[in-house]
Amino acid sequence: MMNETLIRATVFAAHKHRHQRRKMADAIPYINHPLDLIHILAIEAKIADINVLCGAVLHDTIEDTDTEYDDIEKLFGPKIADIVAEVTDDKTLPKAARKQAQIEKAPHASPEAKLVKLADKIANMRDMAANPPSGWEIARIIDYIAWSKEVVDRMRGAHEVLEKLFDAAYETARAAHQGAKPLGLLE
């Protein structure tokens, strides 16, 4: 299952994210997050599509590093580059608009991008439950959880196993922060 392209993509992502840390309290290396996605897709959901797995491991390179679409296209081909581009937020937009754009774009994403997006939301939901970003007040966490579910709800029918994994992670995250009141930032 682990083929040459996926190994190259994983090494490329590890290099690009090498100076970044996750924003959770324990500040683990950033690459753990893309690795969470390929674990969810390949091991938990048994997805073997190499384009999806490479798209997943590279999914934050354009958004969060100096990587450009052309770099990925040159190294990994247009199919993988297109998947990464599809799951890349437009950072010129303010935060609220970016979140709204994810909700609106979700149902129109390609089947491959939907799988990457679902795995991303599962990984983030598990983090919210077990290891939320440091400095976030509980209401912000609750808002984030609700927003993630809204994005996933607009991709229902894309992949049954991934949706079930998300629902389980969502329930755990909700239970972990029960009793907190949402800020309603998206209202």
Minimum CB distance to Zn ion smaller for 30 or for 76? 30
Query: Closest by alpha carbon to 162, among 130, 126, 124, 117?
Result: 117
Identify which of 37, 27, 21 has the alpha carbon closest to the alpha carbon of residue 126. Answer: 37
- Min dist CB 179 to Zn ion, Å, is 28
Contact 24, 133 (CB under 8 A): yes
Tell me how far, at minimum, the Cβ of 181 lies from Zn ion, in Å: 27
Q: What's the CA gap between 95 and 159, in Å, rounded?
A: 28
Q: How many residues bind Zn ion (CB under 5 A)?
A: 1
Structure tokens, 114: 């939907």
34 contacts 13 by C-beta, under 8 angstroms: yes
Least separation in angstroms between residue 60's CB and Zn ion is 5
DSSP character string of 112-127? HHHHHHHHHHHHHHHH
Residue number, 86 or 120, with CB nearest to Zn ion: 120
Among 4, 49, 60, 63, the one annotated catalytic: 63
Which residue is catalytic, options 64, 82, 89, 167? 64
Residue placing its CB nearer to Zn ion in the complex, 120 or 163: 120
Return the residues of window 105-144 that contact Zn ion according to CB under 5 A: 120
- Whether residue 70 lies in the annotated active site: no
Nearer to Zn ion, 112 or 120 (CB): 120
Convert residues 153-182 into a mask of x (bound to Zn ion by CB under 5 A) and - (unbound): ------------------------------
Phi and psi angles of residue 29, each rounded to the nearest 5 degrees, phi first: -55, 145
Q: Is 63 an annotated catalytic residue?
A: yes
Residues counted in the chain: 187
Q: Which residues are catalytic?
A: 63-64
What residue ranges bind Zn ion (CB under 5 A)?
A: 120
